[in-house]
């Protein structure tokens, strides 16, 4: 088989998706405000072309030919498998449904914003109803073995299934709820940031220094500002992170930088011989998130890390941190709270926010939960899981944009990221000698190098759970994560967990 | 005829070329250095797709149908005419030749850089030979009435012909050569910038202020930094200018901003109902350049302009300009010199640099000049035209990048821009009452508005010379420009011209 013909198709697709990445990055960073409608058209055209090329029957024939060929390398087989997977899903959904979803998405986001302004879920409800109907139809078009949600989850976490995921999240929930209770009964750490100012330029400089120490290559990537931080770009040598700077609080920038840096290292770490092919990619959002969470939480909110970095941070931000000790800082960035907003949640309660969303969206997709009961169910479950009840829709069901985009099946990948991060951390500690001592001296590259070899360079050659199993010796589990929390927080809060 | 089908084809093409614009802008501003090869692939893919869609037979059929239809509006007819013109040219050139040119261009640029490093034209010569061969072939494939250069010129200046252009440039040359002699025999103005420092941030701020006063909409465009200033972007509401800041000299930034601002106003000025169609475009590079030159030279190097702006500039840059009077500044920015480098030339000698290139490239395309004689011919003619002879290839034949890209036929558009700018200026003075007095008070919008109505909003509905004729009452001429120079420089140098 002449693989080059197929390869050049793969490269064309990757170039187009790289350009989508550039146009989206630009939209969030430098696009002039009046250019919004023009950019929307440009993106629709580009994504339409991508879809057209992906579903082109000639590509299907090339993939068939490759599938039947006996002389492909292992990497070539993986490329064929991944592209066929993507193409089959694209082909199965009728064009009319794709278009209906795109329309419902823009309507969804618009009415979600409107509903937030009015703090009223009912404004958003008809659009969500429509999105749910389309996503259910889409799930059925994609096909599944009786659990429609599986077909949606597959887009974000290929290979993962409800039957596998639910028991793990159930077990996790059972352990987290009492842990949160115990920790929030203890006296909270001293608030150290209130009423102070943290120079944005110096926050920026400190973040750049951190990214450099993590091994993020700023000659193959960038750091810019945006309202919502994200990792984007057009290629493994063009990885673009963004940050939000807050004069009143340095934590969004610092942990944003470490988090996006974790994503960015994955993107920069693909094997050069996989560039412009389907396997220069993460095998799942959950595995991608495991990198950002490992860096942000396990490393970046660790005592060893701040033992090294706090003096430097204090020197950059003397007005704000002059009277704070390293231990106070460490306690403040790990404060466990019964709070309402997912994106501000600490790492103990965070997964409960996810479990809440997972259970609700699973019920919505199954048709087990009428939409008019959604806000009430949200609030009731929030009380049961986290122990605090939203007083309105804004701090409840309307807080996340995901559903407004019709993104159902995405939330669990955050929890998977957390669970995988702890398992990877245990494996890294076993295999990299002196890992924690090194981090306490600011030596972050040994972890980067280990992750690069074990995770990043592997790309999409296997599924996420296969990769995790290969690296850690076992598949998805809540054990490593729960043990990690117990060890860290029993010491920090001086209480048995 | 159902015009919508054709219109959506037009819109798709415009979206794709907008994305090319974005990717190129990014390449010159924010692209990480290691991403260069990835960006080259992305651009090649995107441009290949553009070419594929443009030459698609289905588009040809739609254009035929539209051409035969009796119920098109005048604007629709213009859209069909322009797109057919572009498509016909694309179809005529065989794919193999397109690919050969692309390869020869990258080789051309690479060896040109190499040749510049070695200050040796012979390093570049084989690549230029190849480019010339391909461009000649391309000219023949495009077709012409006996003058092959016309087919190349057509890409940059649709409708212009050697038979029309040569006599005008010949007449201009005859008048400029003695004018340069007379002016350079006078004592030169005092050099006022040497050995001083000009704060880059304050240069930047002053340039933004100028652009705002010119009516450049920074909500529908941007200003960024790049090594080589240019005007780019993706749409009339996304027009991106770039500047180069020099601590030792404020002029590159100031006149760069005014120049690119002139281009930018054209791009922002297209009629909204033409957006995403082929007529939201300048009808020629020459007419585009007329806008940048009119603003940069006629307005921006004028006495009235600096009567208003010099105090503000002086206040921004007191270290550098504290001891300079407005008259000294005006004289310094209009210093006429026998100099070797086109991009640094004043407005009197500038067109002679163009005439030199035009005559040489015409001879090269005709096959009348062997390449090994090119450097010598350059130097000889430079002596005859400007009165100064290059001592090496770097300051002679190797100074411009255009030929390294195979861009033959481009240079004359700079001269056309200058000639058109003077004719437009005369028309504007006739039609806009109090124009010059207003400029002396910093009122730049009346000129912007007049140009918007007469030039920008018209887009590509007619050819450049048709538009100039409609606005000024006559076609291409050197008279207005020569009279403009005589008036300005006889006063400035105190000598009869």
Q: For residue range A390-432, what is the model confidence (pLDDT) as tens digits?
A: 999 999 999 999 999 999 999 999 999 999 999 999 999 999 9
**What does the CA dihedral B423, B425, B429, B435 come to, rounded to 10 degrees?**
170
Alpha carbon B370 to its chain centroid, in Å, reads: 28
Tell me phi and psi for residue B231, to 5 degrees: -115, 125
Q: What ranges in A30-72 are assigned the alpha helix state H?
A: 36-55, 57-68
* CATH number given to B159-497: 1.10.1370.30
Residues A336, A353: Cα–Cα separation, whole Å: 13
Please name the member of B15, B33, B221 whose beta carbon is closest to the beta carbon of A45.
B15
Q: Coil, strand, or helix at residue B223?
A: strand
The C-alpha atoms of residue B96 and residue A231 are separated, in whole angstroms, by 39
A440 has a pLDDT exceeding 90: yes
Please answer yes or no on whether A219 and B39 come within 8 Å at the CB atom.
no
Does the beta carbon of A457 lie under 8 angstroms from any beta carbon of chain B?
no
> How does DSSP assign B109-159, residue by residue?
HHHHHHHHHHT-HHHHHHHHHHHHHHHHHHHHHH--SS-HHHHHHHHHSTT
Helix H or strand E segment including A223:
strand A221-225
Give the ranges where A230-386 is alpha helix by DSSP (H): 251-268, 285-293, 303-316, 318-321, 326-332, 350-366, 374-385
Instruction: Tally helices (H) and strands (E) across chain A.
Output: 21, 3
Tell me the count of A-B CB pairs closer than 8 A. Answer: 116
Marked catalytic residue, from A154, A157, A260, A289? A260
Residue A208 touches partner B, C-beta closer than 8 Å:
no
Is A40 part of the contact surface with chain B (CB cutoff 8 Å)? no
- CA separation for the pair A280, A272 (Å, rounded): 8
Chain B partners within 8 Å of A18 (Cβ): 38, 42
Closest partner CB to A237 (pick from B32, B217, B218) = B32
What is the distance in angstroms between the Cα of B332 and the nearest Cα belonging to chain A?
Answer: 36
- The answer to whether residues A335 and A348 touch, using CB atoms and an 8 Å cutoff, is no
Cβ of B23 and A26 within 8 Å?
no
Place of tokens 């606005």: B471
Q: Which residues, listed in sequence order, are joined to residue B434 by a DSSP beta bridge?
A: none
For A25, other C-beta atoms within 10 Å of its C-beta total 25
Nearest to A288 by CA among A464, A473, A149, A448: A464
* Closest of B468, B469, B467, B464 to residue B156, by C-alpha: B464
Helix (H) / strand (E) containing A221: strand A221-225
Distance from CA of B274 to the nearest CA of A (A): 13
For residue range A115-148, list pLDDT tens digits in order.
Answer: 999 999 999 999 999 999 999 999 999 999 999 9
Give the count of alpha carbons within 13 A of A316, CB side only: 19
Helical H runs in B215-344?
251-268, 285-293, 303-316, 318-321, 326-332
Residue B300 to residue A240: CA distance in whole angstroms: 38
Look at residue A92 in the predicted model and tell me its pLDDT.
Answer: 97
Q: Could you tell me the strand order of the sheet in which B221-225 lies?
A: B221-225, B238-243, B231-235
- Residue numbers in chain B where pLDDT is lower than 50: none
B101: closest CA among B64, B73, B66, B127? Answer: B127
Whole-number pLDDT of residue A1: 79
Is the Cα torsion angle A393, A399, A405, A406 positive or negative in sign? Answer: negative
Tell if the CB–CB gap between A15 and B276 is shorter than 8 Å. no
Query: Which residues from B are below 8 Å from A220, CB to CB?
Result: 32, 34-35
**Which secondary structure element, helix H or strand E, spans residue A481, and what is its range?**
helix A479-493
Chain B interface mutation, best of A7, A17, A22, highest count of B Cβ atoms under 10 Å: A22
- From the candidates A10, A11, A14, A19, which should be mutated to test the interface with B, based on the most B CB atoms within 10 A? A19
A272 is catalytic: no
Surface-to-core class of residue B468, CB atoms within 10 Å of its CB (0-12 exposed, 13-18 middle, 19+ buried): buried
Bridge partners of B243, per DSSP, are B225
pLDDT grade for A374, boundaries at 50, 70 and 90: very high
The nearest CA of chain A is from the CA of B55 a distance in Å of 16
Q: Please say whether the beta carbons of A76 and A3 come within 8 A.
A: yes
- Residue-by-residue DSSP string for B5-57: HHHHHHHHHHHHHHHHHHHHHHHHHT--GGGHHHHHHHHHHHHHHHHHHHH-H
Judged by CB atoms closer than 8 Å, whether chains meet at A26 and B31 is answered as no
Q: Do residue A45 and residue B237 have CB atoms under 8 angstroms apart? A: no
Whole-angstrom CA distances from B32 to A221, A222, A236, B39, B198 are 6, 7, 11, 10, 28
Tell me which residue of A264, A265, A267 sits closest to A282, measured CA to CA.
A267
Is A2 a residue whose pLDDT tops 90?
no
Q: Which residues of B touch A15 (CB under 8 A)?
A: 41-42, 44-46
Q: Which residues of B touch A239 (CB under 8 A)?
A: 32
B242 φ, ψ to 5°?
-130, 155
Tell me the helices (H) and strands (E) count for chain B, helix number first: 21, 3
Say how far apart CA B305 and CA B300 lie, in whole Å. 6
Annotate B201-227 with b (16+ C-beta within 10 A) or e (fewer): ebbbebbebbbebbbbbbebbbbbebe
Q: In this model, does residue A168 exceed pLDDT 90?
A: yes
Domain residue limits, chain B: 3-156, 159-497
Q: Is B73's Cβ below 8 Å from some Cβ in A?
A: no
Which pLDDT score is estimated for B190? 87
Residue among B260, B267, B407, B465 flagged as catalytic = B260
Exposure string over B164-189, b if 16+ CB within 10 A, otherwise e: ebbebbeebbebbbebbebbbeeeeb
- How does residue A225 score in pLDDT terms, banded at 50, 70 and 90? very high
Residues in B closer than 8 angstroms to A37, CB to CB, are: 237
DSSP state, residue B273: G
Strand-pair partners of A164 = none
Asked if B22's CB is within 8 angstroms of A26's CB, the reply is yes
Mean pLDDT over the full length of chain A = 97
Residue A263 tokens, joined: 């994503």
Contacts B45 to A, Cβ<8 Å: 11-12, 15-16, 19
Are the Cβ atoms of B275 and A42 closer than 8 angstroms?
no
Cβ-in-10-Å burial (0-12, 13-18, 19+) of A181 comes to: exposed
Check A38 against B238: CB less than 8 A apart. Answer: yes
Q: Which B positions 80-109 lie with beta carbon below 8 A of chain A?
A: none
What ipTM is given for this predicted complex?
Answer: 0.95
Between the CA atoms of A86, A87, A93 and A99, what dihedral angle is there, to the nearest 10 degrees?
A: 90
pLDDT for A403: 97
Question: A224 falls in which pLDDT band (50, 70, 90)?
Answer: very high
Q: What is the pLDDT of residue A24?
A: 95
> Using a CB-CB distance cutoff of 8 angstroms, which residues of chain A are in contact with residue B217?
34
Q: How far apart are CA B408 and CA B397, in angstroms?
A: 14
How far is the C-alpha of A104 from the C-alpha of A132, rounded, in Å? 10
Residues of chain B with Cβ-Cβ distance to A26 below 8 Å are: 22, 26
Nearby residues of B327 by Cβ (< 8 Å), 6 or more positions away: none
pLDDT band at A191 (very low <50, low <70, confident <90, very high): confident
Question: DSSP alpha helices (H): ranges in A405-478?
Answer: 412-431, 435-439, 445-454, 464-472
């Amino acid at each position: 088989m002449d693989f080059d013909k197929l390869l050049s198709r793969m490269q064309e697709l990757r170039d187009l998706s790289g350009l989508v990445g550039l146009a989206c990055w630009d939209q969030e960073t430098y696009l002039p405000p009046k250019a919004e409608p023009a950019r929307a058209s440009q993106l629709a055209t580009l994504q339409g072309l991508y879809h057209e090329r992906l579903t082109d029957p000639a590509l299907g024939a090339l993939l068939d030919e490759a599938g039947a060929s006996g002389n492909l390398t292992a990497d070539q087989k993986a490329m064929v498998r991944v592209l066929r997977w993507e193409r089959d899903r694209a082909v199965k959904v009728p064009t009319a449904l794709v278009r209906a979803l795109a329309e419902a998405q823009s309507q969804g986001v618009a009415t979600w914003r409107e509903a937030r302004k009015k703090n009223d879920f009912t404004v958003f409800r008809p659009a969500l109803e429509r999105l749910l109907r389309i996503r259910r139809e889409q799930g059925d078009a994609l096909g599944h073995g009786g659990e429609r949600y599986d077909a949606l989850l597959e887009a974000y976490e290929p290979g993962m299934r409800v039957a596998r995921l639910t028991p793990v999240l159930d077990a996790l929930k059972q352990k987290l709820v009492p842990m949160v209770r115990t920790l929030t009964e203890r006296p909270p750490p001293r608030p150290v940031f209130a009423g102070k100012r943290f120079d944005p330029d110096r926050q920026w400089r400190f973040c750049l220094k951190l990214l450099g120490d993590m091994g993020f290559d700023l000659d193959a990537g960038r750091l810019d500002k945006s309202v919502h931080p994200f990792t984007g770009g057009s290629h493994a040598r063009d990885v673009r992170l963004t940050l939000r700077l807050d004069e009143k609080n340095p934590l969004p920038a610092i942990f944003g930088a470490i988090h996006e840096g974790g994503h960015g290292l994955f993107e920069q770490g693909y094997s050069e011989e996989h560039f412009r092919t389907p396997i220069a990619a993460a095998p799942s959002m959950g595995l991608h998130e495991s990198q950002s969470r490992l860096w942000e939480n396990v490393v970046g909110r660790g005592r060893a890390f701040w033992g090294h970095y706090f003096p430097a941070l204090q020197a950059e931000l003397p007005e704000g941190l002059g009277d704070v000790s390293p231990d106070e800082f460490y306690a403040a960035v790990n404060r466990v709270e019964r709070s309402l907003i997912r994106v501000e949640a600490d790492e103990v309660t965070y997964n409960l926010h996810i479990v809440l969303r997972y259970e609700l969206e699973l019920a919505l997709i199954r048709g087990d939960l009428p939409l008019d009961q959604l806000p009430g169910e949200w609030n009731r479950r929030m009380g049961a899981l986290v122990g605090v009840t939203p007083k309105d829709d804004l701090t409840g069901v309307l807080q996340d944009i995901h559903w407004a985009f019709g993104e159902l099946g995405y939330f669990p990948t955050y929890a998977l990221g957390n669970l995988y991060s702890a398992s990877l951390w245990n494996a890294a500690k076993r295999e990299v000698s002196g890992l924690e001592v090194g981090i306490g001296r600011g030596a972050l590259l040994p972890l980067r190098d280990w992750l690069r070899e074990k995770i990043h360079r592997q790309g999409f050659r296997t599924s996420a759970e296969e990769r995790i199993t290969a690296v850690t010796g076992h598949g998805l589990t809540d054990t490593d994560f729960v043990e990690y929390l117990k060890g860290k927080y029993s010491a920090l809060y001086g209480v048995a967990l």
